Each structure stands twice: as C-alpha cells, then as structure tokens.
Amino acid sequence: MTSRRRLLGGLLGTAATAGLGPLAREALAGLPGGTLESEVLEALPGKQPLLKRAYRPPNYESPLATFGDVITPNDRFFVRWHLMNIPEVAAADWRLALGADGNAQTIELTLEQLKRDFEPVELVAVCQCSGNRRGLSDPHVPGVEWGYGAMGNARWRGARLKDVLSRIGVPKDAVEVAFDGGDSAPLEATPDFRKSIPIWKALDESTLIAYEMNGAPLPHWNGFPARIVVPGWTATYWMKQVVSIRVLTKPLGGFWMSTAYRIPKGKFPQVDRFVSQEAEATTPITEMVVNSLITSPADGQRVDARSPLVIRGIAWDGGAGIRRVDVSTDEGRSWKAAELGIDLGRYSFRPWQYRHRGAPRGPLTILARATNAQGSTQVEELIFNGPGYHNNVPHRVTVHVA
C-alpha cells in the first residue's frame, strides 16, 4: 500500500521535473550525479518552492535561480533546523533571558524592549550553512546532502549583541557567550542545540540580535522573533528563535560544540580562530572560505553563437571582501577578469559579470574563481574532510552554443 508521504513525494518529484517550469529545471541543474531522482521542490508555509533535503527537522535549500538577485528574498531563503519541535511564537510572548557566570541576576527582555532600548543597526551579510555543497563531496559523506543553495544574503536589522550584554555585565574572565533557541527534540536523549562564540566575536560591532530581515520581521522558518547574526561565520552560530544568552567563564561543552561542526586542524586557511574550543586534532569551523557561484547561464542552457555570452554570478567570503573574480572558458588553462558589481559591504554577496565573445558552436564549459582581499583564492581540488565542509572548488557550468 502506498503511503501518503510516498505518494506526495512522488507527485512533488514529478512536478519538480515537469510541472513547475523554468524554476524547477534551473533548481535541478548542476547537481551531483545520482541525486536528480531524489530532488523535490516543496513550499513551506510562507515560502516559495524550495529544494527539500529533509522534513523532520525542516531542511530546505534555495534553487540556483534565486541567486540572480544579490539580496535573497525572504520567501526563497533557505531553511535549516537541527531539532524537530519548532514552536510558533507570538511577538508579545517572546522573552530573552540574559545571564552571566558569577552573577546570580537574570534579566529578561521583551521584543519591544529589544527594539526600543537599543540602537538599531543594519548590515548585509551572507548566512551560509556550514555544510553547503556537502552533496558534491567525492567520495560521498554523511549528513544533509546540500547542493549549492544552503545559503542566502539578507539585510539584517537588530541590536548589537555587545550593547545587550552590557545590561547583564561581562565578567573580566569571560571566554565565551552561549545561545539557546526555542526549538526542542521529541526525545530527551537528543542533545539540546546550544552554541557559543568567543567573547571577542560576541563584542564585535557587527554581531547582532536581529529581528528584521530585508525590511520585514524574520520569517518563522528563519528564526522569528529574533536570531543571532554572526557575519562572516557559518550559520551554525546564527541561533534562530534565540531565547537565552549567557556569558561564560569556561568553554561550553556538549555535542554541538565538542563533536559537531569541527574541521581538521590546519587543513583550511583560518583567520578567526576559536581558541577556547580547539582540540589536538580539530578546531571549530568559523569563517566562510572564499567562494563564487555562476548564476547565469544555467547548466545545460542553449545560447546563441551570434551574440556575446554574458556570464553572471556572485562571490563572497568570511569578511575580508572580494578583490576579483576570474572566468575560464578553456577548462582552467587561462583566466580572464570579470567586472565586479555593487558592493553592499564586506559580508555581502558581490555580484560580477563577464562578456564572452566568439564562442565556437558546441559545448562550452565555464568556470568561475574568486579571490579575496587577503589573497585567498578558491582551490582547484576539493580539500576533503569527513563532515563535507568548506567546498569551494570553482563552480562549473556547461552550455550548448548554437
């Protein structure tokens, strides 16, 4: 007997390849071999159709077509949760508990107080899941099999975390600041999703408690009523639906800090070290590596040989800023500089474009490679690691010139 879930999945899978038009076809382009048959476009409440990677908890990525805009619309922004029970929270009922080791006092803030009592700050920043592009790892690694779209770029508005912490006071011997969210697991044995950041990052001017996203309240799926924004760092630290913040004088333990979200020590260029959480062989993943994406033309698209081919894309990194983007049309034997577009700040996507003329008829493979202001460039070959993190191999698109 066919279950409702299997039937729904089959119908959505058929729709993704046949009934949803250009959006679906572009969403499925450029995915690793063997995964196309499992691709499903599905719309969560308040969202446009996204690529479903998991339902319990909800993990949905943005289709490639989304990134034609430098700012990712709220209704097409990716969704990533670790625990299944995600409460619907009314703005008037939300409370944020503030505490600090060595201080018996606990302060509670309402959303109205967060907006009223602290200077509002706005910045544009990329929110990217640590495992973005994990599904392209070769050999295969376990985990949510993300393609290219477990990320988004938004204009975040909120209060500086350091201003809020001043209400409770920061001990001189503070080492980290820990966050807890409103989500929970159905089984008590499941570790609560708690994360921390080093005290120096918590006191950075750009680290926020955000309550708006692209000029609107945060969507439920992206952390309403408030979330932590840690620009430049992967999204594991961007606690959604934050309900508790505590200043710690000792490093935070637990599964999500000591075991998960760690990379081999010394394998990646890392400026922002999380020293209090380092171990002998591993270190926490922190800032994003330099990366880029070709947004147009789409993989498999037919293009006119009589017209110049305009290649467009985006580039980003962990906050140094993008210095240049180069494009290759000969399998990486030579590279030519693309033109950089609008600069919305060092934490934002940076759009770019390149006009290619005289392409011969037949298949044409395009590669893009970004370099940041520190001189770091995308790698030619994948730096393999068990969790599938930091995949910044140049994006490859093949078109047919006719």
Q: What token pair was written down for 59?
A: 């993990």
Q: Which CATH number describes the domain made up of 91-284?
A: 3.90.420.10
pLDDT in tens, the chain (402 residues): 333 233 233 323 323 333 333 333 344 444 444 344 457 999 999 999 999 999 999 999 999 999 999 999 999 999 999 999 999 999 999 999 999 999 999 999 999 999 999 999 999 999 999 999 999 999 999 999 999 999 999 999 999 999 999 999 999 999 999 999 999 999 999 999 999 999 999 999 999 999 999 999 999 999 999 999 999 999 999 999 999 999 999 999 999 999 999 999 999 988 899 999 999 999 999 999 999 999 999 999 999 999 999 999 999 999 999 999 999 999 999 999 999 999 999 999 999 999 999 888 999 999 999 999 999 999 999 999 999 999 999 999 999 999
Domain boundaries, the chain: 4-54+64-74, 91-284, 291-401
Residue 178 pLDDT: 98
Inter-residue contact 97 to 244 (CB < 8 Å) = yes
What sign does the CA torsion over 331, 332, 333, 334 have?
positive
Residue 11 pLDDT: 29
Residue 38 pLDDT: 55
Q: What token pair was written down for 234?
A: 């992967």
CATH architecture of 291-401: Sandwich (2.60)
Longest CA pairwise span in the chain (Å): 73
As a three-state string, the secondary structure of the chain is CCCHHHHHHHHHHHHHHHHCHHHHHHHHCCCCCCCHHHCCEECCCCCCCEEEEECCCCEEECCHHHHHCCCCCHHHCCEECCCCECCCCCHHHCEEEEEECCEEEEEEEEHHHHHHHCCEEEEEEEEECCCCCHHHCCCCCCCCCCCCCCEEEEEEEEEEHHHHHCCCCCCCCCCEEEEEECCECCCCCCCCCEEEEEHHHHCCCCCEEEEEECCEECCHHHCCCCEEECCCECHHHCCCCEEEEEEECCCCCCHHHHCCCEEECCCCCCCCCCHHHCCCCEEECCECCCEEEEEECCCCCEECCCCCEEEEEEEECCCCCEEEEEEECCCCCCCEECEECCCCCCCCCEEEEEEECCCCCEEEEEEEEEEECCCCECCCCCCCCCCCCCCCCCCEEEEEEC
Residue 270 pLDDT: 84
Residue 358 pLDDT: 87
Inter-residue contact 196 to 256 (CB < 8 Å) = no
